[in-house]
Amino acid sequence: MFIIEKQQVNNIPLLHIVKKGILHEKLPFILFLHGFTSAKENNLHYAYFLAEKGFRVVLPESLYHGERNQGFSEKELYIHFWKIVLQTIQELPSIKDYYVGKGLADEDRIGLAGTSMGGIVTLGALTQYSWIRAAVSLMGMPAYEKFSRWQIEQFKKLGVQLPFTDAEINDQLSILSHFDLSQQPEKLKDRPLLFWHGKKDPVVPYDLTYQFYQSLEVQNRGTLDNIQFITDEHADHKVSREGLLATVDWFDKFLLH
């Protein structure tokens, strides 16, 4: 039997999922992050499979999503995309510290994962926090600066007028570079990292992610013991069951054994 609790940590709504019989034990801990325009409840199937393995799983709600919704349209929300990403990164330590402080999370066995925007957050968080011991990016990408420029081009093609000056855009790009794993791959520090990405993804370009993986292969002369990239040749912006099970297996391998 599983426990699914609605909780709040520092005013951040989240779901806490764990096996009932080990509710009060110190457990390996997974933070799993939802995607853009999604919500924490939409990843309960990941939490179920991970909790079944013996993990304590927490699904936080990102800014302007789900219970934190402020009535923005999707277009308005997209304008705030990077604010949401960066705030989610900044909120992770307080959630982790809460469960570690309660003696419920093993600080030496903490994993981070997410889908789409959640995968993007995951890759940025790896540049900031050494306490992340293993990670999974599902449809995410690490090249913050390149992706931001790509987004701007997409807006221009659609004839959308961005509410930012060129100076404000340059300021944002400068900030994003501090979280851009593609510009500082040494911050991985040999930590296990799994990528899953559909080759036909129209939302988060597959090439930006795979190019980073290839650069790691070159730097490591083809020996990437702790890094794996799963390409789905037919998928667009939706994770397959294979991606779900690979996520569970990844954390099982690197945080349980």
Overall domain count for the chain: 1
The 10s digit of each residue's pLDDT in 82-114 is 999 999 999 999 999 999 999 999 999 999 999
Q: Name the average pLDDT for the chain.
A: 94
Name residues whose C-beta falls within 8 Å of residue 236's C-beta, 6 or more positions apart in sequence.
198, 200, 201, 202, 203
Q: Where are the beta strands (DSSP E) in 56-182?
A: 56-60, 105-115, 134-138
| CATH number of the CATH domain containing 137 | 3.40.50.1820
The 10s digit of each residue's pLDDT in 166-190 is 788 888 889 999 999 999 999 999 8
Q: What is the pLDDT along the chain (257 residues), one digit of tens a residue?
A: 999 999 999 999 999 999 999 999 999 999 999 999 999 999 999 999 999 999 999 999 999 999 999 999 888 888 899 999 999 999 999 999 999 999 999 999 999 999 999 999 999 999 999 999 999 999 999 999 999 988 888 777 766 677 777 788 888 889 999 999 999 999 999 899 999 999 999 999 999 999 999 999 888 766 678 999 999 999 999 999 999 999 999 999 999 97
Range of the domain at 112: 2-256
- Please provide residue 107's backbone torsions phi and psi, each rounded to the nearest 5 degrees: -65, -15
Judged by DSSP in three states, 159 sits in coil
Name residues whose C-beta falls within 8 Å of residue 219's C-beta, 6 or more positions apart in sequence.
185
Per-residue pLDDT, 224: 78
C-alpha 92/C-alpha 61 separation (Å) is 11
